[in-house]
Structure 1
Amino acid sequence: MTPTPTRSPQVFGRGSWPEARRIADVLRKETIGGVLLLAGAVAALVWANSPWADSYESVRSFTFGPEALHLNLSVGTWAADGLLAIFFFVAGLELKREFVAGDLRDPRRAAVPIAAAVGGVIVPAVLYLVINLAAGEGDGKGWAIPTATDIAFALAVLAVIGRCLPHTMRTFLLTLAVVDDLLAIAIIAVFYTASLSLLPLLGALLPLAAFTVLVQRRVRSWWLLLPLAFAAWTLMHASGVHATVAGVLLGFAVPVLRSRKAGGPQAGPGLAEHFEHRFRPISAGIAVPIFAFMSAGVAVGGLGGLGSALTDPVAVGIVVGLVAGKPIGITAATWLVTRFTRAKMDTGFAWIDVFGMAVLAGIGFTVSLLIGELAFGIGSERDDHVKVAVLAGSLTAALLATVILRLRNRTYRRIHDAETADANRDNIPDVYQQDVPVHPAGSLSETRNSPQP
């Protein structure tokens, strides 16, 4: 018997058809969320620069919650610590789904977006530190601000400018941003924990363990799971570790595959997919837009105030990190993977496509604003400069990506039309079935497109 040759992994290679359908569903929800996020940010900017700016600050600083649990927090803190925990819970589900049952369960496929995400974190951080150290800002505590990619914002831009771009490019951007989020939350936990209380931290393990046992047994009862999740979040918040870490850990606890005892094949969809369908609309449609509304409001103060903010070394480092650091880091890491491993660029793609997606990944918003608040304090002058810089850098990255990807969109329009027309009666494009054994009558006995004897 002749051994089957091993294929080299492809950068931007086409994945399986079920994974392509799942990614398309995710992208639709994230795109809508990106539009709502943008609307929330614009509304906050308008309100913060209107004659009623004081009322915006009053709303953001209004405190409520049980004092006994140390949860008498401001509205802005509830948005950053509470609502974003939902966002990171969904990110945890998505990341686990990709590496357990998605196309990235193959380490060779996973290496490319992981390397790209790492490069997109390291280079912006280095550029930020170089700029701030050269300017005499010795602490450099905002180094992590330009390292994050806002997936909802980026996908919303991509949906507008790149309707004919291949789905694999969107999948790459989505996976890169999910890994980016994981790196960001690890950075928050390690580098932005001012003080650590071990007793609450150890206490958080108890409801987390109980939650894990229940979901592993496929329990879906909200009246059991939500109190445990809230208890884990509360204790994590009290420990000094940012409370959104609890969201990621809870997401990792949820099983991805369906057990045989629960019915269905072992490789079928599990509880993670159920939770993702339930919570992704809440995350994309409510949690992130409200956080944007509570965090993006900054009084620009006219051209003079804008100029003053953007000349701050912190702001310069953020803008350079987002606009230059992200594209350089992602593109260089991707090139290194193709240069020193067996990974190859998929047929039909060009390096300008990689660079265009890398520029688009420079849109940093949600997590960047969160890290800025943790680094410099909510409402501080530097925090306002961070907001201006994040908005300016993200807008610049979006405009540059629009120019590049619109040109590429024209190139791919013909390919898009061909793939749309090349569909079977089962609504699965032929391009996903080239290697699938299919009998002319429908049975799996003869390989499609195989040479006939």
Structure 2
Amino acid sequence: MTPPDRPAVPFRAFARLRRIERRHVAEVLRTETVGGALLIVFALLGLLWANSPWRASYDTVKNTVVGPHLWHLDLTLADWAADFLLAFFFLVAGIELKHELQAGELSNPRAAVLPVVSALCGMVVPIGVYLAVSAGHANAGSGWAVPTATDIAFALAVLAVVGQNLPSALRAFLLTLAVVDDLGAIIIIAVAYTASIDAAALAIAALLLVAFYVLQRKRITSLWLNVPLGLAIWIAVHASGVHATVAGVAIGLMLHGRHHGDGYAEADEGRDHEPQSPAENVQWVLQPFSAGFCVPVFAIMSAGVYIGGKTLGSLVSNQIPLAIAAGLFVGKAVGVFGGAYLTARFTRAELSDELRWRDIAAVSTLTGVGFTVSLLISELAFTDTPELLNLAKGGVLLGSLVSALVAVVLLRRRDRFYDQLCIAEAEEDGEPALGRE
């Protein structure tokens, strides 16, 4: 006699509960505040581990080699975090850039002028500040690009936490600026920090990218084709000598981003029940993995700055960490705000009606939080000088910390201003003064 199906019901219910739990965790990890919080927590863990009695184990884990020698894949765990895991972070950034180009602020040239120019000035001015402060140091030239980057995840997380009453246009300004900033950082990494090129591997990477592009244009979204092809692109780019994170951005930009009524999978539960583009679907799946695993692992591997002995004193006496910290805190704020103000002053570009210049000043300070990409560039710039690498990372942490603290104070003041403004407007209209949602 065939046993009844009832005993399987509890298992199916348990499996469904597990799916719901996983979906809830993924949804939480897509929240900007959670991603930023994880970044901070794991960076602190790396810092504490590197300065604990178990410091030797930290170095052992970082320097453990994993992978085959074939195609130069015998990498340390720290290199796997920087080269492979961050490729997912930049893939998501590439998708965000594509969205901005197609439907966001960058799709409207007039609206894009201010944040784009601000982003460019926010990269050029920190370089000038860095070179001025580090002038005369024998190894100064290697790290000129370290203070050029803004950590998009952390910056948006801070804005979400402390700026609940701020205009939505301010977040759009910061997001557009940070996406352009990420693109600039990738170009710098690809051009300035590529020591030698393997022409054959680079040619193979180019051919594979063309094949991936064709699949996207033909709307062939099979995971059995696209995932192995994407992995092959990463391997070829890595073997070519170009930093492997470039592969992530290239794939993100090539993913099909337009909406179509047919042929695409329906949205997951919790999203709008409308067909999504392949790019949005990939971003939806990878964002929790990037925010919940890739970036935290990179943070714990990269933020372990030893501050014992003479290192702590060197952070405020050595030109390299001071130049990086000054570039992030002073250079980014002056560059971003100055670029926006001068563009509005001498061109037809205008600041959004929702914003005031004090808002731009506050968010300009927030762009000095470099962290993820700045730590990555530090490792590329000072890879042959471990002592300077440690100091450079200390400079990144110092500049990012000061920028974040000052930005929080300024943004809180602007948040209270808008809250009081909404209360005053509500009282004038005779409505309950509940503040701004």
TM-score normalised to structure 2 length: 0.85
Conserved 8 A contact 1:310-1:385 = no
Deviations 1:313-354 (A, max 9, x none): 111110110110001000111012111222223335321111
RMSD: 2.4
Which stretch has the larger CA shift, 252-261 or 239-248?
252-261
Counterpart residue number, 1:449:
none
Correspondent of 1:85 among 84, 87, 92: 87
Structure 2 CA distance for partners of 1:398 and 1:368, relative to 1, 3 Å:
same
Superposition deviation, residue 43 in structure 1: 0.5
Matches within 5 A, 1:339-418: 339-377=345-383, 380-414=386-420
Which stretch has the larger CA shift, 289-298 or 335-344?
335-344
Correspondent of 1:308 among 311, 314, 335: 314
Counterpart residue number, 1:328:
334
For 2:426 and 2:220, locate their aligned partners in 1 and report how far apart those are by CA, in whole Å: 40
Superposition deviation, residue 185 in structure 1: 0.4
Aligned residue-pair number = 394
Q: Secondary structure at 2:281's aligned position in 1?
A: helix
Superposition deviation, residue 259 in structure 1: 4.2
For 2:355 and 2:234, locate their aligned partners in 1 and report how far apart those are by CA, in whole Å: 44
Counterpart residue number, 2:158:
157
For 2:385 and 2:289, locate their aligned partners in 1 and report how far apart those are by CA, in whole Å: 27
Amino acid at match of 2:33: T
For 1:215 and 1:65, locate their aligned partners in 2 and report how far apart those are by CA, in whole Å: 30
Conserved 8 A contact 2:29-2:292 = no
Structure 2 CA distance for partners of 1:138 and 1:160, relative to 1, 3 Å:
same
For 2:28 and 2:324, locate their aligned partners in 1 and report how far apart those are by CA, in whole Å: 29
Structure 2 CA distance for partners of 1:307 and 1:216, relative to 1, 3 Å:
same
For 1:128 and 1:214, locate their aligned partners in 2 and report how far apart those are by CA, in whole Å: 44
Correspondent of 2:284 among 259, 277, 290: 277
* Pair 1:176 & 2:177 matched: yes
Amino acid at match of 2:183: L
For 1:378 and 1:159, locate their aligned partners in 2 and report how far apart those are by CA, in whole Å: 38
For 1:382 and 1:412, locate their aligned partners in 2 and report how far apart those are by CA, in whole Å: 44
For 2:241 and 2:353, locate their aligned partners in 1 and report how far apart those are by CA, in whole Å: 49
Conserved 8 A contact 1:27-1:155 = no
Superposition deviation, residue 258 in structure 1: 2.5
Structure 2 CA distance for partners of 1:234 and 1:413, relative to 1, 3 Å:
same
Q: Secondary structure at 1:188's aligned position in 2?
A: helix
Matches within 5 A, 1:418-429: none
For 1:355 and 1:380, locate their aligned partners in 2 and report how far apart those are by CA, in whole Å: 36
Amino acid at match of 2:252: G
Conserved 8 A contact 2:169-2:352 = no
TM-score normalised to structure 1 length: 0.82
Matches within 5 A, 1:133-144: 133=135, 135-137=136-138, 140-144=141-145
Identity among equivalent pairs (%): 49
Superposition deviation, residue 32 in structure 1: 1.5
Deviations 1:45-93 (A, max 9, x none): 1111100010011111101111122101000000000001001111111
* Pair 1:107 & 2:109 matched: yes
Conserved 8 A contact 2:121-2:336 = yes
Amino acid at match of 1:66: P
* Pair 1:251 & 2:252 matched: yes
Correspondent of 2:306 among 299, 309, 314: 299
Counterpart residue number, 1:64:
66
Q: Secondary structure at 2:141's aligned position in 1?
A: coil
Structure 2 CA distance for partners of 1:419 and 1:368, relative to 1, 3 Å:
farther
For 2:426 and 2:198, locate their aligned partners in 1 and report how far apart those are by CA, in whole Å: 56
Q: Secondary structure at 1:141's aligned position in 2?
A: helix
Conserved 8 A contact 1:30-1:151 = no
Structure 2 CA distance for partners of 1:326 and 1:231, relative to 1, 3 Å:
same
Q: Secondary structure at 2:142's aligned position in 1?
A: coil
5+ unaligned residues in a row in structure 2: which ranges?
1-26, 266-273, 428-435
Matches within 5 A, 1:37-56: 37-56=39-58
5+ unaligned residues in a row in structure 1: which ranges?
1-24, 422-430, 432-453
For 2:160 and 2:353, locate their aligned partners in 1 and report how far apart those are by CA, in whole Å: 23
